[in-house]
């Protein structure tokens, strides 16, 4: 499947996955072992881990230096939506620091390979940009790390005000180069970045790359003022506020990161932390709970338990799950011990505290507390009788967090591989429809295409592709896909696409017939009812 990721841990990354996921992974591995070798090879080929390096500034203009970091930001977002696993900017910064290199380091081919190997990447994307009159010309190549082979260059060009579209086009060409069977349209890639203002994007890039903290905040505030719905800028601003211990402002910024943003789960985690530190425990509990519903890692469960305990409620169950998910983390056993003791389970509390001390023998607080619990009368220091607070996990490994999400994708893809082609297509269409409703056109088209490949006789796959083509402005392709859907089976969604297209073209008779057919198939469709009212109004006005 196009979205099948091969799970590989980045060197130095710690991944804590709850016990249920481990059981699921064993089941997935058993199914995966039965897959044909060709399927595995294809999945691995399309699940490569990519490292996109900052592009070289060939313009000679210092005011365009910010585009160096703009290129990987756009390409990473499109590669992720296309089913690849690009390394993030923090991953790259981690590797540079690990190698003892400055953040503004411009790597040679040899050092680029070393960087990729440190990050365990399969491929590197290197590129440059220059000016040609009023145009920006971007060029990139793909380096196959295991085989040390560099591709032929691909290029994209356009006017400076279309910079995001230039990089979107370049991302599409590179994706096609790495996966020749990839069939998402170029227009869909361009549409993915069409709603972002270039000036807001520039301020965001300057905000994440500026060395001075005050300047970073200034640029990021300008970015969100210019584009209030731009999630990455809110995420970066939230990090700056959080690091500056401005927790209320940080919580507000993290709350602005939309649920469709790739950073949504991480934003939810840090919003929960900010609310914890602000003393708003009910909202902190809610924030961690929302993250845990999707990805219940140990650090999320632990902090949710802390938020519950700080309200005077019982967080024991969450501490149990956190300790089970990461049994080598001393703080989870510490928190579980406190919770058990508080709820009159003294024996279990002492066992957990002993386990904490075993993992961290030099923990003075645990030593004193264990002595107090075993023989309270022997404690001479009155301060030792003060009950300690639960320990909060203040950071998490974002790379491990993403790796856990990728592992979930792998398990889902393995389940899909075990279905019949028709069942697989139906499942993919349901997922694609969810993406489409959330406005994620690239992800939606990718899954609709996969559904059509799984079972070419499923009408809903073509109806979905018609809706995607309509939104990207490709009217001819939208009509073609809608008609292909109707040739297979009656479809309200396909008729709706044709009806909207004909209404836009002022073909009222055709639009009326198509919306009438849609209402026959789905009388409760609000979209069809609204289009029918619009047609009646236009027909009345025309008469």
Give the residue from 141, 175, 194 where a domain finishes. Answer: 194
Read off the pLDDT of each residue in 112-130 and give the average, rounded to a whole number: 82
Determine the Cα–Cα distance for residues 283 and 275; give it in Å rounded to an integer.
Answer: 7
The enclosing domain of 101 has a CATH number of 3.40.50.10610
Helices vs strands, H then E, count in the chain = 26, 7
Give 478's contacts (C-beta < 8 A, 6+ positions apart).
466, 467, 469, 470, 497, 501
Domain annotation covers residue 208: no
Can you give the three-state secondary structure of 5-36, one letter per residue?
CCCCCCCCCCCCCCHHHHHHHHHHHHHHCCCC
Give the residue from 194, 216, 247 where a domain finishes. Answer: 194
Residues 462 and 535 in one domain: yes
What Cα–Cα distance (Å) separates residue 444 from each residue in 159, 263, 439? 29, 19, 8
> What is this structure's pTM?
0.82
What Cα–Cα distance (Å) separates residue 519 from each residue in 219, 326, 468, 482, 504? 50, 54, 21, 16, 19
Determine the Cα–Cα distance for residues 80 and 8; give it in Å rounded to an integer.
Answer: 16
Domain annotation covers residue 474: yes
Residues 486 and 527 in one domain: yes
The tally of domains found in the chain comes to: 3
Residues 368 and 488 in one domain: no
Determine the Cα–Cα distance for residues 215 and 41; give it in Å rounded to an integer.
Answer: 47
Domain annotation covers residue 245: no
Concatenated DSSP letters of 118-170? HTT-SEEEEEEEEEETTEEEEEEEEEETTTTEEPPPEEEEEEGGGHHHHHHHH
pLDDT at 18: 32
Domain annotation covers residue 39: no
Residues 391 and 409 in one domain: no
The enclosing domain of 351 has a CATH number of 1.25.40.10
Supply 358's token pair. 């075993």
Give 174's contacts (C-beta < 8 A, 6+ positions apart).
75, 79, 125, 140, 142, 154
Residues 372 and 427 in one domain: no
Q: For 78-96, how does the pLDDT look when each residue is reduced to its tens digit (9 = 90+)?
A: 999 998 989 888 878 877 7
Domain annotation covers residue 237: no
Residues 390 and 453 in one domain: no
pLDDT at 108: 65
State which residues form the domain around 518: 404-542
pLDDT band with cut points at 50, 70 and 90 for residue 105: low
What is the end-to-end Cα distance of the chain in Å, rounded? 53
Tell whether the model's pLDDT for residue 271 goes beyond 60.
yes
Residues 56 and 179 in one domain: yes
Specify the higher pLDDT residue, 134 or 33. 134
Residues 460 and 327 in one domain: no
- Judge whether 154 and 174 are in contact, CB under 8 Å: yes
Domain annotation covers residue 116: yes
Tell whether the model's pLDDT for residue 492 goes beyond 90.
yes
Residues 303 and 361 in one domain: yes
- Judge whether 355 and 375 are in contact, CB under 8 Å: no
Give the residue from 178, 194, 210 where a domain finishes. Answer: 194
Supply 342's token pair. 């508080």
Tell whether the model's pLDDT for residue 15 goes beyond 50.
no
Distance of CA 314 to the CA centre of its chain: 32
Residues 388 and 476 in one domain: no
Give 320's contacts (C-beta < 8 A, 6+ positions apart).
336
Domain annotation covers residue 239: no
Tell whether the model's pLDDT for residue 393 goes beyond 70.
yes
Residues 144 and 113 in one domain: yes
Residues 93 and 173 in one domain: yes
Q: What are phi and psi of 246, to 5 degrees?
A: -95, 75
Mean pLDDT of the chain: 86
- Three-state secondary-structure class, residue 318: helix
Closest residue by Cα to residue 172 from 111, 95, 82, 250? 82
Q: For 128-157, how does the pLDDT look when each residue is reduced to its tens digit (9 = 90+)?
A: 999 999 999 999 999 888 888 889 999 999
Domain annotation covers residue 214: no
Strand 135-144 and strand 123-132: the pairing is: antiparallel
């Amino acid at each position: 499947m196009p979205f099948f990721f091969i799970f590989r841990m980045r060197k130095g990354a710690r991944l804590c996955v709850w016990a249920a996921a481990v059981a699921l992974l064993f089941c997935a591995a058993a199914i995966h072992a039965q897959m044909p070798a060709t399927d595995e090879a294809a999945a691995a080929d399309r699940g490569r881990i990519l490292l996109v390096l900052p592009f070289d500034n060939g313009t000679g203009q210092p005011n365009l230096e910010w585009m160096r970091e703009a290129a990987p930001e756009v390409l990473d977002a499109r590669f992720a939506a296309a089913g690849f696993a690009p390394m993030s900017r923090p991953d790259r910064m981690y590797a540079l620091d690990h190698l003892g290199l400055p953040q503004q380091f411009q790597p040679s081919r040899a050092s680029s390979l070393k960087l990729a190997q440190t990050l365990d990447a399969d491929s590197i994307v290197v590129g440059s940009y220059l000016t040609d009159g009023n145009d920006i010309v971007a060029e990139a190549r793909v380096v196959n790390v295991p085989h040390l082979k560099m591709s032929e260059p691909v290029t994209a060009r356009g006017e400076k005000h279309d910079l995001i579209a230039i990089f979107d086009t370049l991302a599409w060409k590179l994706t096609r180069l790495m996966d020749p069977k990839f069939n998402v349209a170029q227009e869909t890639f361009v549409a993915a970045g069409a709603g972002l203002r270039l000036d807001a994007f520039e301020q965001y890039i300057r905000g994440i790359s500026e060395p001075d903290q005050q300047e970073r905040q200034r640029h990021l505030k300008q970015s969100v003022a210019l584009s209030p719905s731009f999630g990455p800028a809110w995420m970066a601003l939230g990090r700056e506020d959080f690091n500056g211990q401005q927790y209320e402002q940080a919580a507000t910024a993290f709350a602005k990161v939309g649920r469709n943003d790739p950073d949504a789960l991480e934003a939810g985690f840090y919003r929960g932390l900010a609310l914890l530190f602000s003393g708003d425990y009910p909202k902190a509990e809610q924030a961690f709970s929302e993250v845990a519903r999707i990805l219940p890692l140990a650090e999320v469960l632990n902090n949710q338990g802390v938020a519950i305990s700080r309200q005077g409620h019982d967080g024991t169950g969450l501490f149990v799950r956190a300790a089970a998910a990461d049994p080598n983390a001393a703080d989870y056993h510490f928190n579980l011990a406190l919770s058990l003791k508080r709820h009159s389970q003294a024996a279990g509390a002492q066992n957990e505290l002993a386990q904490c001390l075993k993992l961290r023998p030099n923990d003075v607080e645990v030593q004193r507390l264990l002595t107090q619990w075993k023989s309270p009368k022997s404690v001479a220091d009155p301060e030792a009788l003060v009950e300690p607070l639960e320990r909060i996990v203040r950071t998490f490994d974002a790379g491990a967090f993403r790796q856990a999400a990728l592992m979930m994708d792998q398990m889902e893809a393995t389940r899909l591989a075990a279905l019949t082609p028709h069942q697989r297509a139906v499942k993919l269409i349901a997922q694609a429809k969810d993406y489409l409703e959330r406005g994620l056109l690239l992800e939606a088209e990718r899954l609709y295409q996969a559904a059509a490949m799984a079972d070419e006789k499923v009408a809903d796959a073509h109806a979905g592709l018609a809706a995607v083509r309509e939104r990207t402005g490709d009217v001819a392709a939208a009509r073609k896909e809608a008609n292909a859907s109707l040739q297979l089976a009656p479809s309200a969604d396909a008729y709706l696409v044709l009806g909207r297209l004909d209404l836009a073209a002022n073909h009222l008779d055709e639009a009326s017939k198509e919306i009438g057919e849609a209402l026959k198939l789905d009388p409760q469709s609000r979209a069809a009812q609204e289009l029918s009212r619009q047609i009646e109004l236009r027909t009345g006005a025309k008469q």
